[in-house]
Amino acid sequence: MPARLRLFRRLWPAALSAALALGSAGPALALTDSFVTIGTGDSDGVYYPIGRGLCRIVNREREEHGLRCSAEATPGSIYNVRMLAEGQLEFAILQGDVLYEAFAGSGLWTERPFTGLRSVMPLHPEIVTLVVDGTLRIEKPVDLLGRRVNGGHPGSGSRSSFETILDVFEVGDDDFEQITELRGSALPDALCDGRIAAFVEVVGHPSGLVRNVRQRCGAQILPLAAPAIDRMLDELPYLQRLDIPGDLYGLPADIPGFGSHAMLATRAEVGEDVVYLLTRELLAQLDEIRTLHPTLREFDRSDLAAVNRAVPLHPGAERAYREAGLLE
């Protein structure tokens, strides 16, 4: 576990006249050396480089606005929710389904909702991706019964999505030879060496992990399309049908799947000025955000309107959105 995280300091307004006197076009609001941390995911995953990139954008003008940002590697979305709830993180990148379920008190959070969660900014679409050993005769998810599969590392959003798939197909842990809990970095060796038959990861595409196992040992991406999944999508508004582009992996057609948007989130107790300044700095650099990772290549202003309204915007983010003309 990373050494835990400094809380942000008390906020102090800076005079607009001081900024003008310096001949600067800087912000009318500044903080006094406030520090925030963004919880991300494994250091070899997607969330970590994105989080570092977001902090780099914020820190570029820290001498003017006084807000300092650090990205921390973590086990993933479930862990991040817990750290937000305990006040150990100010911001975190979360899977969209994990964000909604934690806020609403469903799934792993049944009867214990974290209603203090707040949305800040949608990032990239993430798709539940089922990758199988290409040497095995596996054509549909039920063909994996009796085999060894990886269900995701504890604390990760992928683990949560794996549990969702089990529920959809009405199977349990005992229906498999073994459910392993490997991190993403261990999956290529495990799959290509035959130690697991398949793994489930929730990823943005293109995915370096998926490309790796396809090039290395001919792994296949299994479609997640069935009447049971259609019924689930009808019942869960935070999930949607998302197809994996086949051309990204040399496949002749897109692969049916489902997922949601990764979301930069915070908690209600984080100061409005802190969230406003961070959001404002990011909104000013949308072109740069698109370069932080290939999964963000199509990130656009129009995506910001798709922020999950089921989880309220933080007032600070809402203020920055309105100033940018993204909310009426």
**pLDDT value for 25:** 37
Alpha carbons 105 and 296: distance in angstroms, whole number: 29
pLDDT-flagged residues of the chain (< 50): 1-27
Peptide bond into 245 cis (omega under 30): no
Helix, strand, coil in percent for the chain, rounding step 5 = 40, 20, 40
Q: CB within 8 A of 293, min separation 6: which ones?
A: 46, 49, 50, 53, 124, 204
Domain that holds residue 239: 127-259
Measured between alpha carbons, how far is 67 from 31 in angstroms, rounded to an integer? 6
Which ranges in the chain belong to alpha helices (H)? 16-21, 47-59, 62-65, 77-85, 96-104, 157-168, 187-192, 208-217, 227-235, 272-283, 286-289, 301-304, 315-323
Q: Are residues 137 and 253 in the same domain?
A: yes
Of the residues 204, 226, 259, the one at which a domain ends: 259
Nearest by Cα to 87 from 224, 269, 260: 269
Q: Is residue 70 within 8 Å of 37, Cβ to Cβ?
A: yes
Instruction: Please indicate, yes or no, if residue 11 is contained in any of the structural domains.
Output: no
Residue 180 confidence (pLDDT): 97
55 and 158 in a single domain? The answer is no
Q: How many CB atoms lie within 10 A of CB 97?
A: 27
The pLDDT score that the predictor gives to residue 129 is 95
- Say what the pLDDT of residue 252 is: 94
The pLDDT, as a whole number, for residue 165 is 87
Q: Is residue 5, in this structure, part of any structural domain at all?
A: no
What distance lies between CA 326 and its chain's CA centroid?
22
Cβ atoms of 76 and 101 within 8 Å: the answer is: no
* Tally of domains in the chain: 2
Helix (H) or strand (E) holding 35, with range, is strand 34-39
Indicate if 204 and 247 belong to the same structural domain: yes
Domain stops at, among 207, 228, 259: 259
Predicted TM-score (pTM) of the model is 0.82
Residue 143 gets which letter from DSSP? G
Whether residue 31 is found in the same domain as residue 138: no
Q: Which residues contact 262 (CB under 8 A, 6 or more apart)?
A: 47, 93, 94, 95, 96, 122, 123, 124, 125, 126, 204
CATH of the domain at 20: 3.40.190.10
pLDDT in tens, 2-35: 433 333 233 323 322 232 232 333 445 666 568 9
List Cα–Cα distances, 142 to 73, 116, 151, 305, in angstroms.
34, 38, 15, 38
* 168 in a structural domain: yes
- Out of 236, 259, 282, pick the residue that ends a domain: 259
